[in-house]
């Protein structure tokens, strides 16, 4: 299934954790075109978007399913990664070219749960995030709102991060869509990560967003649009995305690899010389 910018997710509904949240939950359900349920029935549902007082959570309904997935950009896990991830020396930062070009602008065309974009923003990049799954987009918007309300990250979020709902394949093809030095891609890859936490997140992400079988077309669009480079995150042992060109070089990360495609901007003939 190619995921779309509509919420065609069978067995997914919205619920409010408390009666006070019923109205915002109803608005969310309407916006996403999902049913609002009062008492979620695990026999009827495969997943549930639950609006709690703290955040928006995505729950898998199967018996024995792991805990919920939500976007946490200011919590302990992300804080740890920001403190100990290696700053500008980490593979992600080197992959986008932070060293050679101090603060490149980035289009993160596969925003997902927003962690890579948040790290790049925390390193000084202005990042435009694109997410095509309305459910993932809603989780991401909720996480960004909480990060924007936290004094430690408020300024960074308001000054450096933008979130768009849409298919990057279409948006990148629009001549009016602002270009960026770097286009960053991290499409889904079947069974790609080892850690139990990521497995849980990826399973749920796949359940609501589907696979990304059109990643090669996305790469072609990104190559046509990036001003300096395209970076593709791949599992360590996976082959590069097939596309019009091979990566110029790769950088190994902890469980993944970054393939870097350098883009040479060709000046139009009438401006050359």
Q: Which residues bind ligand SAM (CB under 6 A)?
A: 3, 109-110, 112-116, 130-133, 136, 167-169, 186-188, 205, 209, 212, 218
| Residue 51 vs 111, nearer CB to ligand SAM | 111
| Residue 131 vs 181, nearer CB to ligand SAM | 131
- Per the DSSP assignment, residues forming a β-bridge with 256 are 235
- Own/partner long-range contacts of 57-65 (Cβ < 8 Å, ≥24 apart): 58/135, 58/139, 58/204, 58/208, 60/203, 60/204, 60/207, 61/11
162 is in an annotated binding site: no
In the complex, least distance from residue 262 CB atom to ligand SAM, rounded to whole angstroms = 21
Q: For residues 85 and 83, what is the distance between their CA atoms, to the nearest angstrom?
A: 6
In the complex, least distance from residue 60 CB atom to ligand SAM, rounded to whole angstroms = 16
| Residue 48 vs 168, nearer CB to ligand SAM | 168
In the complex, least distance from residue 188 CB atom to ligand SAM, rounded to whole angstroms = 5
Q: Name the residue with the smallest CB distance to ligand SAM.
A: 112
In the complex, least distance from residue 170 CB atom to ligand SAM, rounded to whole angstroms = 8
In the complex, least distance from residue 185 CB atom to ligand SAM, rounded to whole angstroms = 8
Q: At 106, which helix (H) or strand (E)? A: strand 105-108
CB atoms within 10 A of CB 53: 9
- Burial of residue 246 (CB within 10 Å: 0-12, 13-18, 19+) is exposed
| Residue 148 vs 214, nearer CB to ligand SAM | 214
131 is in an annotated binding site: yes
| Residue 21 vs 177, nearer CB to ligand SAM | 177
In the complex, least distance from residue 176 CB atom to ligand SAM, rounded to whole angstroms = 17
214 is in an annotated binding site: no
**Integer distance in angstroms from the first to the last C-alpha of the chain?**
48
| Residue 16 vs 136, nearer CB to ligand SAM | 136
Distances (CA, A) of 181 to 38, 47, 108, 209, 227: 47, 38, 11, 27, 4
132 is in an annotated binding site: yes
Q: For residues 106 and 228, what is the distance between their CA atoms, to the nearest angstrom?
A: 10
Task: Tell me the pairing of strands 229-235 and 256-262.
Answer: antiparallel
206 is in an annotated binding site: no
| Residue 14 vs 207, nearer CB to ligand SAM | 207
Four-point Cα dihedral 219, 256, 115, 201, nearest 10: 100
In the complex, least distance from residue 103 CB atom to ligand SAM, rounded to whole angstroms = 19
Backbone φ and ψ of 145, nearest 5°: -60, -40
35 φψ region: left (φ > 0), alpha (ψ -120 to 50), beta (else): beta
Q: Summarize the annotated binding site for S-adenosyl-L-methionine as residue ranges.
A: 115-116, 131-132, 186
Known binding-site positions: 115-116, 131-132, 186
């Amino acid at each position: 299934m190619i995921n779309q910018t509509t919420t065609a997710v069978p067995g997914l509904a919205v619920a409010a954790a408390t009666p006070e949240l019923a109205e915002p939950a109803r608005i969310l359900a309407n916006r996403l075109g999902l049913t609002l349920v009062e008492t979620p029935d695990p026999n009827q549902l495969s997943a549930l978007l639950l609006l709690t007082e703290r955040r928006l959570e995505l729950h898998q309904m199967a018996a024995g399913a792991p805990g919920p997935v939500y976007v946490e950009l200011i919590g302990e896990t992300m804080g740890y990664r920001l403190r100990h991830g290696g700053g500008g020396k980490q593979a992600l930062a080197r992959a986008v070219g932070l060293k050679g070009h101090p603060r490149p602008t980035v289009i993160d065309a596969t925003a997902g749960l927003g962690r890579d974009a948040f790290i790049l923003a925390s390193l000084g990049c202005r990042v435009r995030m694109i997410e095509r799954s309305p459910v993932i987009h809603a989780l991401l918007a909720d996480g960004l709102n909480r990060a924007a309300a936290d004094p430690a990250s408020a300024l960074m979020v308001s000054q450096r991060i933008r979130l768009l709902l849409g298919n990057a394949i279409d948006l990148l093809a629009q001549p009016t869509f602002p270009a960026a030095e770097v286009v960053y891609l991290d499409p889904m890859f079947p069974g790609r990560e080892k850690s139990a936490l990521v497995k849980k997140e990826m399973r749920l992400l796949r359940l609501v967003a589907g696979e990304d079988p059109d990643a090669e077309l996305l790469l072609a669009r990104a190559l046509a649009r990036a001003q300096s480079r395209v970076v593709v995150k791949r599992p360590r042992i996976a082959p590069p995305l097939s596309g019009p060109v091979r990566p110029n070089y790769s950088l190994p990360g902890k469980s993944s690899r970054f393939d870097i495609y350098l883009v040479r901007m060709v000046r139009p003939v009438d401006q050359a010389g």
